Structure 1
Amino acid sequence: MADHSALDAVLRRRSHSSVTADAPTHEELLPLVAAAATVADHSALRPWRLIELRGAARERLGAAFVEASGLEGKDAEKLAAKPLRASLLIAVVARTVPSFKVPAWEQEAVASGVAHTLSLLLDDAGWGVMWRTGGHTRAAAVHRMHGLGDDEHLLGWLYVGGRIPDKEKPRKPIDAEPLISVLD
């Protein structure tokens, strides 16, 4: 990882809609997942898990997309190919843990925090990442394909691969003033 501040890493992060076939190994992911697991987590419930999809698992996901959509022909082929855009997909799963102190929305926020932190860590390690979501995250066929339990649902997938330098674009500065207010 580069020698810079967290602020630098956050400001430098971009979504990479196109990536090369390179991807981090399972072993390379482990320290990044361990770091992402340090997000604020009321009662340390760990209301999330991650699923790596590589190779044929991505093809099965594409088939589940098609099953969920009911599309046929060329439209089905195009939809089935979407998970093949990166050689590594990381499914982000939120799971609700029974708790009288931590409501379900807060547990989902933790899972979202893990996903975002992991995307920052992957970006900082030099990988291209894009968090993809959509209606298929709640489809029964996609749920089955991932082997999710009744207390689990998908928040989306991190598509991970090598960066394509020609596609790097500078981010427009964000004016924070209208995004924060002060109570007196």
Structure 2
Amino acid sequence: MGSVRAAALARRSWPKVTDDAPDDAELADLLEAAGRVADHGALVPWRVIALRGEARRRLGDALVEAAAVEGEAAAKLAAKPVRAPLLLALVAVVQPHPKVAEWEQEACAAGVGHMLTLLLDEAGWGVMWRTGPHTRHPVVAGMHGLAEGERLMGWLYVGGKPATGRPERRRAPVAEGRLSSLD
């Protein structure tokens, strides 16, 4: 097992994946670890919805309806969710709390999503976190069966890593100029 730092430095977004995907047992195991992120108030303000098979097509239809597009644009948008065999919808479950602000609860859910990308990558899966202008549209929320107070944070597109090799790192080093100190 490698270090957390090594996993973070090795992580890449995999925009193209194979048709292989983790099963629900593996996902539950990875979520057990991902769910250990900082969680003020121990609210566990998140959940994950696995979309496989036809559920991905229903998501494509919901995106098209939310975008109100037709023709070629609709076909292109509808095809996006089928680019991976598994989509993991990350959901913030925001609840009223006197000490834990809504943004903190969403931050916890985002933390689970990011940790899950690291864990999936370490387990050998290709992952890419995707969002878009319709992530929080009511039609898209309805397709996922979201309840009051639940907010979609995006989807992890998950599949096998192609044999052609890993994607190149596209970003230059990021830490320089982003750390400041106060005395």
On whether the aligned pair clears a TM of 0.5, the verdict is yes
Q: Is the 8 A contact 2:14 2:167 kept in 1?
A: no
Q: Residues of 1 paired with 2:162 and 2:23: CA distance? A: 19
- Runs (4 or more) in structure 1 with deviation over 4 Å come to none
Q: What amino acid does structure 1 have at the position aligned with 2:182?
A: L
Aligned residues: 182
Q: Residues of 2 paired with 1:160 and 1:150: CA distance? A: 27
5+ unaligned residues in a row in structure 1: which ranges? Answer: none
Q: Which residue of 2 aligns with 1:153?
A: 151
Q: Which residue of 1 aligns with 2:28?
A: 30
1:112-149 C-alpha deviation (Å, 9 max, x unpaired): 00000001000000000000011111111101100001
Q: Is the 8 A contact 2:63 2:134 kept in 1?
A: yes
Q: Residues of 2 paired with 1:176 and 1:37: CA distance? A: 26
The 1:19–1:100 alpha-carbon spacing in structure 2 relative to 1, beyond 3 Å, is: same
- State the percentage of identical aligned residues: 57
Q: Which residue of 2 aligns with 1:18?
A: 16
Q: What amino acid does structure 2 have at the position aligned with 1:33?
A: L
| Residue 103 (structure 1) aligned with residue 101 (structure 2) | yes
Give 1:74 shift. Answer: 1.6
Q: Residues of 2 paired with 1:66 and 1:150: CA distance? A: 23
Q: Residues of 1 paired with 2:102 and 2:142: CA distance? A: 22
Give 1:170 shift. Answer: 3.8
Q: Which residue of 2 aligns with 1:128?
A: 126
Q: Residues of 2 paired with 1:5 and 1:151: CA distance? A: 36
Q: What amino acid does structure 2 have at the position aligned with 1:7?
A: R
Q: Which residue of 1 aligns with 2:177?
A: 178
Q: Which residue of 2 aligns with 1:164?
A: 162
Q: Residues of 2 paired with 1:28 and 1:55: CA distance? A: 18
Q: Residues of 2 paired with 1:35 and 1:175: CA distance? A: 26
Greater fraction helix? 1
Q: Residues of 2 paired with 1:176 and 1:141: CA distance? A: 39
Give 1:32 shift. Answer: 0.2
Cα RMSD over matched residues? 1.2
5+ unaligned residues in a row in structure 2: which ranges? Answer: none
Q: Which residue of 2 aligns with 1:112?
A: 110
| Residue 66 (structure 1) aligned with residue 73 (structure 2) | no
Q: Which residue of 1 aligns with 2:139?
A: 141
Q: 1:46 aligns with which of 44, 47, 51?
A: 44
Q: What amino acid does structure 1 have at the position aligned with 2:159?
A: G
Give 1:166 shift. Answer: 2.3
Q: Is the 8 A contact 2:56 2:82 kept in 1?
A: yes
